[in-house]
Chains A and B, each alone.
Chain A
Amino acid sequence: MNTQTMAVDEPRVVGGIQKTRPIEEIKSVVIRFVGDSGDGMQLTGNEFSKSVARAGHDFATHPDYPSEIRAPTGTLFGVSGYQIQFSSGEVFTSGDAPDVLVAMNPAALKTNLPDVKHGGMIIANAGAFNKANLQKAGYQSNPLDDGTLTDFRLYTIDISELTAQALKDTGISKKEIGRCKNYYALGLMLCLYSRPLESEEGNIRAKFAKKPEIAEANVIALRAGYAYAESTEMFVSTYQVRAADIKPGRYRSLTGNHAAALGFAAASELAQVPLFLGSYPITPATDILQELSALKHFNITTFQAEDEIAGICSAIGAAYGGVLGLTTTSGPGMALKTEALGLAVMLELPLVITNVQRGGPSTGLPTKVEQSDLLQAVYGRNGECPIPVIAARSPADCFDCAIEAFRIAVKYMTPVIFLSDGGIGNAAEPWRIPDPARLSPLAVKFRTDPEGFQPYARDENLARAWVRPGTPGMEHRVGGLEKNFLTGNISHDPINHERMVDVRAAKVAGIAKDIPPLMVEGPGSGDLLIVGWGSTYGSIVQAREKAALAGKSVAHVHLRHLNPLPHDLGDIMSRYKTVLVPELNLGQLSKLLRERYLRDVIVMSKMQGKMFKVSEIHDRILELC
């Protein structure tokens, strides 16, 4: 906890006795809720994040859950967690180490304790620390009373029992009572951080509108948790985080996947062209399909295809039909789509392929973050098969990238790969709601004039014309076989093939002219430049700022466009003695940079299914300058 604190004495009446308890003001705090995958930890975290959002904090979240739907209770591999950092300043990550760990059982404590900040607070659901659960978690003795946790501020509360007591008169079943304990925990935390209960109660009632008795039980559990924290004075002090100094405007909280879905809907509206999503459910990309499926009152068609290949193929068919074709997937699904990607390159049709990357290879780590599909995106197809690649840096940035992907696709008549990842796809942050009227329209033109029409004739961007079937006089055939440079008819002519390979490459390379100059954070030249891409943005920003405060000559440039690379990147890199590339892979961007600029860069790799901690990057900066 960032404890630039200011003690405030607040007189209150508890049990007829006038008491004062300090409210400490803190700048930022990191809380992690952990429990069994059935304990409702994602819900608790989500609700807490809504509460801090309403209070005007900046925040970032990190849901972390196992790939089993519901692992056996109490097991180490069944632990589900949700971390949130909120602050009165700008927040870029969900935080390195929790200040507070809310552990609902021994397994949750065991798996998460190594992450907790030294001296941090642990709130443990004592009721769950029974013999069976301790055994399942591999504890020989109870860590709550054997001295294991002496370095922490430990609060043991029998959340299970207290919840049961609070709800004993509600008439709901024992099982249902058991499911209310997450709201008890939320109540505790809302008290600890001086958050009001009322809005949360409203949320509960709205959420469980169809089951009023469950809503009531959850409200009681929430209040009970709050009251317990307040009346027992279990916390020495409570905390207040000031509202963040954020740009004025209207905000909402969005995950990366949700933001991408809104971006795609916006692209369709801005282009005045319907959107077609052909997709197959796969973690962590499924949410985009779900979100867009709920938007049928827009000009959006969603198609849950029989497999990944049908997902992209249906989108290609739709693109041929003259609508915005989209497919969404994750790593292994991307592998299945590659043949069809090659077809889309030959057809020169606009198409967006979203890959919410996860740990690989193969099924890998389905619920964990990784950035290891970059080389696949840039190179992973048969033949010389160039495709533009862009990547989002944060949840809210997925909105802009979704639009950008279609902007490139329709302008250049090309498939575009949009890389997101599990680190931002599921994570939430505040999104400043834009005024739709101020978003620039997407220029789409369909050719309708048959006069002199040649299917593969190109404009100044080397893009061919988009023709909707149904347009009279322009009937033509496209296909995966090499085409004649102008007519698009099959051609095996050697010179024509080379010319087509060259022109497809030149078309994609030419997109660089649209990339705005890179923003360099920090000195314009100096000791160290960090080149980052994708979801590592937050950790890099914070690490760099920290190092800069300590007087280090370190700058940061973050890439949205990975193929083609921005034209000014080489020049920027040449102005620093050392270039560091942190990536959640074995150095894939590093390879691209070395190949392209013939300059060595330092690889900083992490392959743990986790985001970089700010401290990890900060430490590396200190080693290098």
Chain B
Amino acid sequence: MNQMTEIKPLTRKDFESDQDVRWCPGCGDYALLAQVQKLLPTLGIPREHFAFISGIGCSSRFPYYMETYGMHSIHGRAPAIASGLKLARPELSVWVVSGDGDSLAIGGNHFIHAMRRNIGLKIILLNNRIYGLTKGQYSPTSEFGKKTKTTPLGSIDRPFSPVSVALGAGATFVARTVDSDHPHLLDTLRRAAEHPGTAFVEVLQNCIVFNDGAYNALADKETRDDARLLLRDGQPMRFGKDGTKGIRMRGFEPEVVTVGEGGVTEADLAVHDESAANGGLAFFLSQFAAPLPVPLGVFRAVEAPVYEQLSTGLADDARAKRGQGTLEKLFNSGDTWTID
């Protein structure tokens, strides 16, 4: 490299690999890819410091399309592989791209433990509520009663809320966004990137082939304002076309109210607090189901010790106390004896 060359700021182009992107036309994966490629050059991290790790599924082809380091691994195991990488090389920016089956079915164990430990991984879960790569079976997020190739009479599995699972496992950053709202997607990814511990982002995503229209209400400009609740830290929970609808808590029961009707004022509305010490409100939000709107945005963002830093800290402490280990000392420790 010519030393005199000025270091050019990275652009989106720098993150596009030479591989043909092969997702179905109209797949929400494209939106994520575009927004990630747009975000990364703005983070001030050298390109070679990014690593994208994925499992198996449509979304897990993601690393091939990124001109970074990356690994397309095995089903459900991406968080475990990424954890090893991040622990071995804390200076890298390690991202996991996964799907609802990958993260919550076969990889459920690794998923919850990554959340629990608070390893500095950025975990993106593309949730289309269906198995795409295996051509249309129900997933752990498919709705009860869903008819698919393996549930011709309707699913009798109760669905997971990925956000609830993440919160339940103690995640320190949990957010949800939707593939069709590009600015919101980009904003949410940026927040995740800036979070020091495990950052979990659920991306509600359309599967045009096997579950088309799953999130139409959220995507459609006509309906979306009434169907979604955009979470804003410190702000009352308002939504709806003219912003008059809101969420009021009646004890432990949330309800939809209209500001200005029946004596309801803005002061009656629940206020979002993403850094509440107690994550109870975030959990309420994660359980919202019709007729309540779908909350989008950051559910929870709290600071907690970061696993890889704790791990390096233990090593530093051990060295401070015992000195850097040497084989000479190690071999000769314990009970030794000499034969002449």
Binding site for B on A (CB under 8 A): 50, 53-54, 56, 243, 246-253, 262, 265-266, 269, 274, 276, 278, 295-298, 300-301, 303, 305-307, 309-310, 313-323, 325, 339-340, 342-343, 347, 433-434, 436, 439, 468-481, 489-490
* Interchain CB contact (< 8 A) of A469 among B17, B67, B92: B92
Is residue B234 contacting chain A, with contact meaning CB distance below 8 A? no
Residues of A within 8 A of B53 (CB): 317
Q: Quick one: which of B282-340 are within 8 Å of A by CB?
A: 311, 314-315, 317-319, 321-328, 330-332, 334-340
Interchain CB contact under 8 A, B69 and A252: no
* A529 shortest CB reach to chain B, Å: 33
- Complex interface bits, B36-73 against A, C-beta within 8 A gives 1, otherwise 0: 00000000001111010100000000011011111111
Stretch at the interface among B74-82, B217-225, B246-254: B74-82
Interchain CB contact under 8 A, A306 and B113: yes
Is residue B91 contacting chain A, with contact meaning CB distance below 8 A? yes
Is residue B87 contacting chain A, with contact meaning CB distance below 8 A? yes
Interchain CB contact under 8 A, B81 and A320: yes
Binding site for A on B (CB under 8 A): 17, 19, 46-49, 51, 53, 63-64, 66-74, 77, 80-89, 91-92, 109-110, 113, 311, 314-315, 317-319, 321-328, 330-332, 334-340
Q: Top 3 A-B pairs ranked by shortest CB distance?
A: A317-B84, A479-B72, A314-B84
* Interchain CB contact (< 8 A) of A252 among B49, B323, B336: B336
A306 CA to B117 CA, complexed, in Å: 10
Residues of B within 8 A of A253 (CB): 334-335
Interchain CB contact under 8 A, B337 and A251: yes
* A283 shortest CB reach to chain B, Å: 21
* A338 shortest CB reach to chain B, Å: 11
Interchain CB contact under 8 A, A343 and B74: yes
Known contacts A276-B88, A317-B88, A469-B49; decide if A250 and B71 are in contact (CB<8 Å): no
Q: Residue on B with the closest CB to A325?
A: B84
Q: Residue on A with the closest CB to B327?
A: A436
Q: Residue on B with the closest CB to A58?
A: B339
Interchain CB contact under 8 A, A297 and B110: no
Q: List 25 A-B contacts (CB under 8 A).
A: A53-B337, A56-B339, A262-B330, A274-B88, A276-B88, A296-B315, A296-B317, A297-B321, A297-B322, A297-B324, A298-B324, A298-B330, A305-B83, A306-B80, A306-B109, A313-B110, A316-B73, A317-B81, A320-B71, A320-B81, A323-B89, A471-B48, A476-B69, A477-B64, A477-B66
A476 CA to B47 CA, complexed, in Å: 11
Q: Residue on B with the closest CB to A303?
A: B87
Residues of A within 8 A of B85 (CB): 317-318, 320-321, 469
* A284 shortest CB reach to chain B, Å: 20
Interchain CB contact under 8 A, B339 and A251: yes
* Interchain CB contact (< 8 A) of A314 among B49, B83, B314, B339: B83
* B149 shortest CB reach to chain A, Å: 24
Residues of A within 8 A of B110 (CB): 306, 309-310, 313
Interchain CB contact under 8 A, B71 and A477: yes
* B62 shortest CB reach to chain A, Å: 10
Known contacts A303-B87, A322-B88, A474-B48; decide if A251 and B338 are in contact (CB<8 Å): yes
Residues of A within 8 A of B336 (CB): 250-252, 433
A306 CA to B307 CA, complexed, in Å: 14
A325 CA to B85 CA, complexed, in Å: 10
* B18 shortest CB reach to chain A, Å: 9
* B5 shortest CB reach to chain A, Å: 13
Interchain CB contact under 8 A, B71 and A478: yes
Residues of A within 8 A of B319 (CB): 296-297
Additional A-B contact list (19), CB under 8 Å, known A252-B337, A298-B330: A251-B338, A262-B330, A269-B327, A297-B318, A301-B87, A310-B80, A310-B109, A313-B84, A315-B84, A317-B85, A318-B88, A320-B71, A321-B89, A433-B331, A468-B89, A469-B51, A475-B68, A476-B70, A490-B64
Interchain CB contact under 8 A, A480 and B74: yes
- For B109, B315, B328, the residue with the greatest tally of chain A CB atoms inside 10 Å of its CB is B315
